[in-house]
Amino acid sequence: MTARAGDYRALFDLRGRVAVVTGAAGILGRVFCQALADHGADVAVVDLDEAGAEELATDLAETFGVRSCGIACDVADPASVAAMAAEVEARLGPCDVLHNNAATKTSDLAAFFAEPEDMSLETWREVMGVNLDGMFLVARELGAGMARRGRGSIVQTASIYGMAAPDQRIYEGSRYLGQRISTPVSYSTSKAGVVGLTRHLASHWAGAGVRVNALVPGGVRSGQNDTFIERYSQRIPMGRMAEASEMAGALVYLASDASSYVTGETLAVDGGLLTW
């Protein structure tokens, strides 16, 4: 094969493709939507926060010149997911790229950050309902359509704590938005489930031309206090936390034809944490 100038650069081109991002109005979701739009994708901005989703969609269309729409969806509700999928297709067309990104800290931060022996089953189920059930419901709904059309890429946001246990020593004196923090057992378990779901769907849909991979972010600066930032950074070979924008390149790679022979993988963007 003789390559021409631009052939490899074009692998990252998402023009003409429809991307759906769940949890799109959050800290990382906003960056993910911007990255996909900047590479030419039309973006369905999906979030429980309808006003936030619509505001971001307007910004994407104005900034990047793509089609974009904001859609409210509760990913833990099968009827809401089905309605979202139908609205995406009606407004933008069939989904080519799904970034399954929605997750929850629940409505009660104190309950969410409870120790395993103190965590209620209600909180556990609330986390699982979004972080794992929601991933399955959205992947089932949109992935089935991709498989029928013979093409698609699904990227699911997992976590380093779905791959390894948290170091409990970093949490003494650590705060997030004023709240004592930890990595809850419900969160770790749900994200480990995302990795398993990703591998299963990758194998199941590989023959239908649908790739399924997991993006595994490390710790991102987003309101933690200085104590946490310093202690976490000491656990990282690169010596610092990530900025949200540093997750974007990995998403574009997994969403695009640049990763056309990659499926069932977990791509960690963690500054080297999982090497230790």
Per-residue pLDDT reduced to its tens digit, 35-66? 999 999 999 999 999 999 999 999 999 999 99
Query: What structural domains does the chain harbor?
Result: 15-167+181-221+245-265 (3.40.50.720)
In our burial notation (b when 16+ CB lie closer than 10 A, e otherwise), range 210-246 reads bbbbbbbbbbbeeebeeebbebbbebbeeeebbebee
The CA-to-CA distance between both ends of the chain, in Å, stands at: 40
Residue-wise pLDDT for 61-78, tens only, equals 999 999 999 999 999 999
Residue 127 pLDDT greater than 80, yes or no: yes
Instruction: Select the more confidently predicted residue: 236 or 222.
Output: 236
Adjacent-strand bridge partners of 20: 44, 98
Q: Name the percent of the chain lying above pLDDT 90.
A: 92
Question: C-alpha distances in angstroms, 110 versus 36, 102, 191?
Answer: 34, 20, 20
CA triplet 268, 273, 274: central angle to 5 degrees?
65
Residue 181 pLDDT greater than 90, yes or no: no
What the block records as the tokens of 174 is: 């650590």
Query: Mean pLDDT across the stretch 179-192?
Result: 93
Range of lowest pLDDT (164-173, 207-216, 249-258): 164-173
CA triplet 158, 163, 168: central angle to 5 degrees?
105
**Residue 97: φ, ψ to 5°:** -130, 125
Q: What pTM was estimated for this model as a whole?
A: 0.96
pLDDT at 146: 98
Q: Is 187 a catalytic residue?
A: yes
Active-site hit among 187, 232, 253, 261? 187
Query: Mean pLDDT across the stretch 255-263?
Result: 98
Residue 1 pLDDT greater than 80, yes or no: no
87 pLDDT tier (thresholds 50, 70, 90): very high
